[in-house]
Chains A and B, each alone.
Chain A
Amino acid sequence: MIRASRFEIHREMQGDAARLTVTGELDIASVPRVEEAVAKVLAEGARSLIVDLSRLSFVDSSGLRMFITLNDRSSGEGWSLGLIRPPEPAFSVFQITGAEENLPFVEDSSP
């Protein structure tokens, strides 16, 4: 059964730069919503996408898998992906899998 977790996506777009700020728990129930939001900004012409995970309280393996897929796609499709680190303990899934070194985590440059 899919659980309805408290989850929100906030979207900003300036030119071809998009930023999605996700709040709550990223799990099998909320992953499709992020995928949808990403597809939408790309369809609207975004070439540079920042996904801000700093307000996530939890990420499970399906969330991790989504970022791996997005990262693979971005290099193939010629757009750039940047992830802003989630706090502990949501970051642990990235640490224990070595994703910390392999996914494009960036420092938050927004004001």
Chain B
Amino acid sequence: MDIGQARAILDLAHSAFISMDEEGRIVYWNIRAEEIFGFTRAQAVGRVLADTVIPERLRESHWEGLRRFRETGEGPVLNQRLEMTAIRSDGDEFPVELTISAISEPEGWSFHAFVADISERSRLEQERQMLMDELQLALRGTEQRLAVIVDALGEAVTIRGPDDHLIHANRAALDRMGLSSVEELREADPRILMGGWETLGEDGSEISMEDLPSVRALRGEQPEPLMLRSVHRGTGEEQWVLLKATAIYDSSGTIEAAVTIIEDVTAARRSSLRMEFLARASQVLASSLDYQETLRNVAGLAVPQVADWCAVDLFDEEGVREPVAVAHIDPSKLEMAERLRAFDPDELDPDQGLGLVRRTGEPVLYNDIPDELLVAAAVDDEHLGLLRAVGMRAVLIVPMVGRSSTIGALTLVSAESGRTFDQSDVEFAEQIAERAALAVENARLYGERSAVARTLQRSLLPEALPELPGWEIAALYRPVGQESAVGGDFYDFWDVDGDWLMMIGDVTGKGVGAATVTSLVRHTAWAASEFDRRPAAILARIDAALKRRPAMSVCTALCLRIASGEATLASGGHPLPLHLGQQGVSEVGRHGTLLGAFSSVEWPEAPFEMKPGETLVAFTDGVTDAVGKGDERFGLDRLKEIVGRAQNESPMVIRERLVAGLEEFQVGAQADDTAIVIMRFTGAKVAAEGDEKISSTTGVQR
């Protein structure tokens, strides 16, 4: 591990970490040290440590200790846990716990300390100790005095006698146990009293009376504080309590009783568990764009911590529900939960349950569900039987609120655990639902974008290549990027009264904007060709249409008109196609002006003849601009070379060779859209029968 890594870890440490050199100057100071002592790293490093963190009255002994260590190498304070008093930047003194170690380095000794602020801990310790001292004193006095002191305490306190019976409890403790008087408490069997709650340890294990700190203290042990989760069997209320107990001795040294202080830590415990849960849920939610899978995972996380079972439903715009996930504390009950959910109508009732939550966007809470409610909700006897078998104690439904509507709901059910839900459960569930809604919307948005992109792309290319009589055709279209990309390249074939028109082009830009322009170009070309089939006229119409758009819309296009072997070509700023014949490969046509860009325009038409066996290759600049090793471009020459070696090959073969050539050449990801159209004139016999005949005999439709 290098120094940088070590420092990064030290910055994460919960303790302050401080390093000091032999001269007593601070050389390292982590983030926690900034928080604890109130000096930034920049302020602290270079300062004398003693003047920074040690109260003035204790500085002399610090220097003395350092001096002695340098002279003798003896450091009695090193490598052990110490409690000391430190000082903050504002002069406040506070207790710290620290461990110091010394390291011998080439330039001398260095000292390193982990320092923890224990002011809170020592305050609680002190209070508890004072309380215990008071109680011990009290017990030696009269019973009235005891009651007066204990009853004056805000915290719940119980006193357990040697026979395990509770002999006293203050008001707070009696309230907690639901008892009205100390007499009632004394008469109660302690086991029956405890049986009013389900008591579980932090790990979920059952806690018996023998595990209670007070009982263990009576047996002469010195028990650690015990954290337990109690669920009242009557009310279903869930609480987290911390039990601390101590034995009280009589004057002869015999254990006379055990005092327990019951601290309600429900709020703190829940908030820390919830933070943990939310952190995990957020991680799960962000992990995948498959929201159904994700919601199943979240439902799984919610059980058993939040509820005994958890279900997720999504709603569509008409309010039809889509059950997505259900998780149950007991896997064997999962099937029952699924069966039960199948009874829920898909069409939601806007006045109850999921339907109500969807309509209002507010959570719905049913605590202590009476049998009548089940009877009312059941659609038939089987349904009622299932509802009763589940033994629902409470149901909480919270909305998953999306950007514009309630997109689903999270249903939390309490059954086995017997607990009810309170306001803080509602708020917590809403937080989970909020995160889940966001995850679903993100996933959907992404899914929609991909679908839109695919649909758009399909609409920008011909459904299938047409069958041109006397021609073989192959085409290639490769947009950059995957799902959500819509390319700016396009090609098209259409026929007008027996003439075939081919267009290939490149709209600058990407995405929906480019797709809109592409669509405009294609429709303008089709419409224009109805009136005038000359390529130059079609390009002129496209140019005019683009110039009418408010934002600059620029496009290159090549327009080819074919009547049997006679071809006419015009280019609107587009690379000229290659012609492959007996004499080899060459560009055909003449350059013309880019469409939609300039005021001075010219689209010269170039008629040329295609002999049987000759091939035309039209392409976009994605081909020639493809980047290879050393930033070299694929270029026109490489393209000509591949095409030139494909004499007598079919368009399909030429296409495969071009793809292979590009893939071999290209380094890194494809940078631009690529489109290629390859047309070979076979000179089929229909060609001799004339244009009009072709039109009527082929009947080819787009």
Q: Is the CB of A99 within 8 A of B594?
A: yes
- Contact between A68 and B668, CB atoms less than 8 A apart: no
Q: Which of B574, B594, B635 has the most CB of A within 10 A?
A: B594
Could you tell me the distance in whole angstroms from the C-beta of B690 to the nearest C-beta in chain A? 35
| Those of B582-600 within 8 Å (CB) of chain A | 591-594, 597-600
Q: Is the Cβ of B668 less than 8 Å from the Cβ of A1? A: yes
Give CA–CA (A93, B506) in the complex, Å.
13
Do A99 and B597 touch (CB < 8 A)? yes
The answer to whether the Cβ of A62 comes within 8 Å of any Cβ in the partner chain is yes
Q: Which of B192-200, B366-374, B444-452, B625-633 contacts A (4 or more CB under 8 A)?
A: B625-633
Asked if B49 is an interface residue, CB under 8 A from chain A, the answer is no
Interface residue? B77 (CB, 8 A): no
Asked if A95 and B591 sit within 8 Å, CB to CB, the answer is yes
B552 partner residues in chain A, CB cutoff 8 A = 68-69, 72
State the majority secondary structure of interface residues on B: loop
Q: Are B576 and A96 in contact (CB under 8 A)?
A: yes
The 8 A CB mask of A45-75 against B (1 = contact, 0 = none) is 0000000000000101110110011001000
A99 & B598 in contact (Cβ 8 Å cutoff): yes
- The 8 A CB mask of B146-160 against A (1 = contact, 0 = none) is 000000000000000
Contacts of A3 in B (CB 8 A): 627, 631, 668, 671
Q: In the bound complex, do residue B625 and residue A60 qualify as a contact, i.e. CB atoms below 8 Å apart?
A: yes
- Asked if B246 CB lies within 8 Å of chain A CBs, one says no
Q: A96-B591, A97-B556 are in contact. Are A1 and B621 (CB under 8 A)?
A: no
Select one of B554, B597, B621, B669 contacting A60, CB under 8 A.
Answer: B621
The chain B residue sitting closest to A6, CB to CB, is B631
The answer for the CA separation of A32 and B431 in the assembled complex, in Å, is: 42
Contact at B574–A96, with CB atoms within 8 Å?
yes
Contacts of A69 in B (CB 8 A): 552
Q: Is B573 an interface residue (CB 8 A)?
A: yes
* Min C-beta distance of A7 to chain B, whole Å: 10
CA distance A44 to B234 in the complex (A): 78
* A89 CA to B601 CA, complexed, in Å: 23
Contacts of A60 in B (CB 8 A): 621, 625, 672
| Contact A98-B508, Cβ < 8 Å, known A28-B671, A60-B625, A68-B552 | no
Contact A25 B598 (CB under 8 A): no
Q: Are B508 and A62 in contact (CB under 8 A)?
A: yes
B575, CB-defined interface residue at 8 Å: yes
B667 CB to nearest chain A CB (Å): 9
Q: Is the CB of B554 within 8 A of A102?
A: no
Min CB gap B636→A, angstroms: 9
* Apart from the given pairs A28-B672, A68-B597, 13 other A-B contacts in the complex at a CB distance below 8 Å: A3-B627, A27-B625, A60-B621, A61-B506, A65-B508, A65-B554, A68-B554, A96-B574, A98-B573, A98-B593, A98-B594, A98-B600, A98-B601
Q: A4 to B600, alpha carbons, bound, how many Å?
A: 35
- B602 close to chain A: CB less than 8 A: yes
A104 to chain B, nearest CB (A): 12
Encoded as 1 (CB less than 8 Å from any A CB) or 0, chain B from 184 to 218 comes to 00000000000000000000000000000000000
B611-636 CB mask vs A (1 if < 8 Å, else 0) is 00000000001000101000101010
Whether, in the assembled complex, B571 has its beta carbon less than 8 Å from a beta carbon of chain A, the answer is yes
Q: Closest B-chain residue to A1, C-beta based?
A: B669
A49 → B minimal CB distance (Å):
19
Q: Identify 20 residue pairs between A and B in the complex whose beta-carbon atoms are under 8 Å apart, listed by A's number.
A: A1-B668, A5-B631, A6-B631, A25-B631, A27-B671, A58-B633, A60-B621, A60-B625, A61-B506, A65-B508, A68-B598, A69-B552, A93-B621, A97-B591, A98-B591, A98-B598, A98-B601, A99-B594, A99-B598, A101-B600
From residue A6, how far is it (CB to closest CB) to chain B in Å?
7
Among A60, A61, A64, A72, find the residue whose CB has the most chain B CB atoms closer than 10 A: A61
CB distance from B594 to the nearest CB of A (A): 4
**CA distance in complex: A24, B461 (Å):** 35
Task: Give me the 7 closest cross-chain CB pairs, A-B, nearest first.
Answer: A98-B593, A97-B573, A102-B598, A97-B594, A1-B669, A96-B591, A65-B508
Q: Which of B593, B635, B669, B671 contacts A97 (CB 8 A)?
A: B593
A6 to B635, CA, bound (A): 18
Asked if residues A102 and B669 are in contact (CB atoms below 8 Å), the reply is: no
Question: Which residues of A sit under 8 angstroms from B671, Cβ to Cβ?
Answer: 1, 3, 27-28
User: Whose C-beta in chain A lies nearest to the C-beta of B631?
Assistant: A5
C-alpha spacing A6/B506, complex, angstroms: 26
CB neighbours (8 Å) of A58 from chain B are: 633
A60 to B626, alpha carbons, bound, how many Å?
11
Bound-complex Cα distance A62 to B488 (A): 12
- The docked-state distance in angstroms from the alpha carbon of A72 to that of B550 is 13
Q: What distance in Å separates the Cβ of A76 from its nearest Cβ neighbour in chain B?
A: 12
Q: Give per-residue flags for A1-19: 1 if the beta carbon is below 8 A from chain B beta carbons, else 0.
A: 1010110000000000000
**CB of B627, distance to nearest CB on chain A (Å):** 6
Residues from chain B with Cβ under 8 Å of A27 in the complex: 625, 671
Closest B residue to A2 by CB, please name it: B671
By beta carbon, the residue of chain A nearest B599 is A102
Interface centre among A27, A60, A98 (most CB of B within 10 A): A98
In the bound complex, CA of A25 to CA of B672 (Å):
15
Question: What CA separation (Å) do A33 and B628 show in the bound complex?
Answer: 22
B633 touches A61 (CB 8 A): no
Min distance, Cβ A3 to any Cβ of chain B, angstroms: 6
How near does chain A come to B596, taking the closest CB pair, in angstroms? 9
Chain A neighbourhood of B631, CB < 8 A? 3, 5-6, 25
Least CB separation from A103: chain B residue: B598
Tell me the smallest distance from the CB of A29 to a CB of chain B, in Å: 8
Chain B's nearest CB lies how many Å from the CB of A88? 12
List residues of chain B with CB within 8 A of the CB of A98. Answer: 573, 591-594, 598, 600-602
List, in ascending order, chain A residues with CB within 8 A of B574's CB.
96
**Interfacial chain A residues near B668, Cβ < 8 Å:** 1, 3
Q: Which residue of A lies closest to B596 (CB)?
A: A68
CA distance A97 to B506 in the complex (A): 12
- Residues from 556 to 578 in B contacting A, C-beta threshold 8 Å: 556, 571, 573-576
Shortest beta-carbon distance from A18 to chain B in Å: 23
B627 proximity list for chain A (CB < 8 A)? 3
Please indicate the chain A residues that have their CB under 8 angstroms from the CB of B621 in the complex.
60-61, 93
Chain A residues in 8 Å Cβ range of B556: 61, 97
Quick one: closest A residue to B508, CB to CB?
Answer: A65
How distant is the Cα of A28 from the Cα of B574 in the complex, in angstroms? 18
| Residue of B506, B556, B571, B625 with most chain A CB atoms under a 10 A cut-off | B625
Assembly CA distance A108 to B371 (angstroms): 94
Q: How far is the CB of A92 from chain B (nearest CB, A)?
A: 9
Question: Which B311-347 residues sit within 8 Å CB-CB of chain A?
Answer: none
> Which residues from chain A contact B592 at a C-beta distance below 8 Å?
98
* A-contacting residues, B623-657, CB 8 Å: 625, 627, 631, 633, 635
- Shortest beta-carbon distance, B675 to chain A, in Å? 13
Specify the chain B residue showing the minimal Cβ separation from A7: B631
Contact of A61 among B508, B600, B635 (CB under 8 A): B508
Q: Beta-carbon contacts of A71-111 to B below 8 Å, as 1s and 0s? A: 01000000000000000010001011111011000000000
Q: Specify which chain A residues have a CB less than 8 angstroms from the CB of B672 in the assembled complex.
A: 28, 60
Interchain nearest-CB distance for A26 vs B (Å): 12
